[in-house]
Amino acid sequence: MAKADFQVPVLKQYPEIPEIEPGVMAHSSPFKSKPQFQAELGFPGELVDDWQSKAIDKMGDLLGRYRSLRVYLDSCVKCGSCTDKCHYYLGTHDPKNMPVGRQDLLRKVYRRHFTLAGRLFPKLVGAEDLTEEVLGDWYSYFHQCSQCRRCSVFCPYGIDTAEISMAAREIMDHIGVGQKYCNEIIGKVYKIGNNLGLPGPALADTLEGLEEDVLDETGVEVKYPLDQEGAEILLVTPSADFFAEPHVDGLIGYGKVFHESGVSWTLSSHASEAANFGMFIGSYENMRRVALRIREAAIKLKVKRIVFGECGHAWRVAYSFLNTLAGPWDFLDPRYPVPQHICEFTYGLIQEGKLNLDKSLNDEMVLTYHDSCNVARASRMGDRPGGQFDIPRAIIRATCNNFYDMDEETIRDRTFCCGGGGGLLTDDLMEIRVKGAQPRVEALNNVMQEKGVTHMAAICAICKSQFTKVLPYYGMDLDQIVSVHQLVSNALVLTGQETDDEDEAADEAA
């Protein structure tokens, strides 16, 4: 078990709603961004002199630009429906981690400055001035929200605390209070092209290595092309896929699928990152700047289609925002949606019977599937609502014999976040990450006990990294988390591949 200097929650068989323990997570806040990283993104380097009035001005600006913010701040009736829905509340018991508690941190300042009732009777309606203490709370608790939108599912008005957190972070960035992790990473994308800061030559090396590995393993020459002009498909994938386990096994899988499909494809060193942390910090401008790199790469490489690899928030930005931020995509092949998810691509081939899949090759695993929050509640796959739940499961069922879902209350649009989303995937936030993972790990633990599940598949780079890190705190193994396309990779028998049980595989496929 990993060592912790805080109490790791105990996993229960039946979920419990904890009693509130005010203030227990007030100490948790991430490292602040250094001045040079702030400047890169167009923000002041440190807390500006008249920060109170600057913050209020920025809030006013955002209220005029985002209907969500305005309507959500006005509409909450304090009904309490969201109070027990946030994994960070369930894991920490801090009432400021209840979605409405979190919103109220911003709402009380909104009411003070932007509503008649709050100007006239602040005490009555819970309005407050923006003091240093309030700013401290903002920095702590708006970095204890993974923007997973679970609260918005259960709110009678769909109030989405993610929108509030994004706005709060944008306001803080504009007065010089930025978060190191997110802002440094966005800087790396601008300078080098991806979150991990892997330069082009390093990528080329890695991809060459993958080609050799796959050749050794299968005897088939599968290509992992980089910057290949004129390829049909541009694959944009999270940079974790280039080197970390279990991510890279997913990338190997995408390559094999493309190989079997016969469609030419390429990665780009300029757009070597699907992630877009501009969303986490609520900055339209930065999110757009990151997204435009994909447009530039698509034009330069003269591709016809864009496909995204496995990443949750990246798919949200891709599916829901890319057309807005970097469109229109009229220069691409209109027969395909822009962009497509790799799962949509693979699923299409499975439907057409173009993949020779031997499920028994995954027989040493009993699987469950984790719906990543941004895929589940902020995007879609395929042409029907809910395709984002069905398509990955269909792929898993086509590649494995043993699959069990977790408790219905914890999957699909009610899924629990892994605890590391929204820009929280950093070591300085380990406590909140471990505690926030509790509801998901609890449900996982229950299917492990009841159904003998051994592994959990996911289609998000953040989920994979987060679980790899936090599962050991709960006494589980870090390699219990796998990529969906790792399962595809295991089961896929390539055309011309030599196998021990060639005939058997052919039978299965027929």
Identify what 328 binds: other proteins, ligand HEM, ligand SF4, none; CB under 5 to 8 Å per kind: other proteins
d(CA 347, CA 398): 9
402 to 431: interface string for ligand SF4, x by CB under 6 A: ---------------x--------------
Contact status, residue 278 vs residue 287, Cβ threshold 8 Å: yes
Residue 93 in contact with ligand SF4, rule: CB under 6 A:
no
Identify what 324 binds: other proteins, ligand SF4, ligand HEM, none; CB under 5 to 8 Å per kind: other proteins
Residue 251 in contact with ligand SF4, rule: CB under 6 A:
no
Helix (H, G, I), strand (E, B) or coil at 265: strand
* Minimum distance of ligand SF4 from residue 76's CB (angstroms): 3
Residue 100 in contact with other proteins, rule: CB under 8 A:
yes
Closest to 116 measured CA to CA, from 77, 152, 165, 74:
74
* Minimum distance of other proteins from residue 162's CB (angstroms): 9
* Minimum distance of ligand HEM from residue 156's CB (angstroms): 3
Identify what 138 binds: ligand HEM, other proteins, ligand SF4, none; CB under 5 to 8 Å per kind: none
Identify what 115 binds: ligand SF4, other proteins, ligand HEM, none; CB under 5 to 8 Å per kind: other proteins
d(CA 274, CA 120): 47
| Secondary structure of 395-438 in HEC code, one letter for each residue | HHHHHCCCECCCCHHHCHHHCCCCCCCCCCCCHHHHHHHHHHCH
Count of CB atoms situated within 10 Å of the CB of 113: 20
* Minimum distance of ligand HEM from residue 81's CB (angstroms): 7
Residue 71 in contact with ligand HEM, rule: CB under 6 A:
no
Please give the helix or strand (H or E) that residue 295 lies within, else none. helix 284-300
Contact status, residue 15 vs residue 87, Cβ threshold 8 Å: no
Residue 215 in contact with ligand SF4, rule: CB under 6 A:
no
Choose between 31 and 121: whose C-beta lies nearer to ligand HEM.
121
Identify what 158 binds: other proteins, ligand SF4, ligand HEM, none; CB under 5 to 8 Å per kind: other proteins
Please give the helix or strand (H or E) that residue 63 lies within, else none. helix 51-65
- From residue 401, give the alpha-carbon distance in Å to each of 340, 395, 449, 506, 509: 27, 11, 19, 17, 14
Choose between 77 and 120: whose C-beta lies nearer to ligand HEM.
77
> Token pair of 291, please?
């997204």
Among the listed ranges 71-79, 226-234, 362-370, 460-468, the one in contact with ligand SF4 (CB under 6 A) is: 71-79
d(CA 137, CA 457): 35
Residue 77 in contact with ligand HEM, rule: CB under 6 A:
yes
Residue 14 in contact with other proteins, rule: CB under 8 A:
no
Helix (H, G, I), strand (E, B) or coil at 466: helix
d(CA 153, CA 20): 22
Count of CB atoms situated within 10 Å of the CB of 19: 7
Closest to 225 measured CA to CA, from 240, 198, 204, 201:
204
Residue 169 in contact with other proteins, rule: CB under 8 A:
no
Identify what 102 binds: ligand SF4, other proteins, ligand HEM, none; CB under 5 to 8 Å per kind: ligand SF4
Residue 506 in contact with ligand HEM, rule: CB under 6 A:
no
Residue 79 in contact with ligand HEM, rule: CB under 6 A:
yes
Identify what 88 binds: ligand HEM, other proteins, ligand SF4, none; CB under 5 to 8 Å per kind: ligand SF4
Binding residues for ligand HEM, rule CB under 6 A, total: 3
> Token pair of 401, please?
């014999």
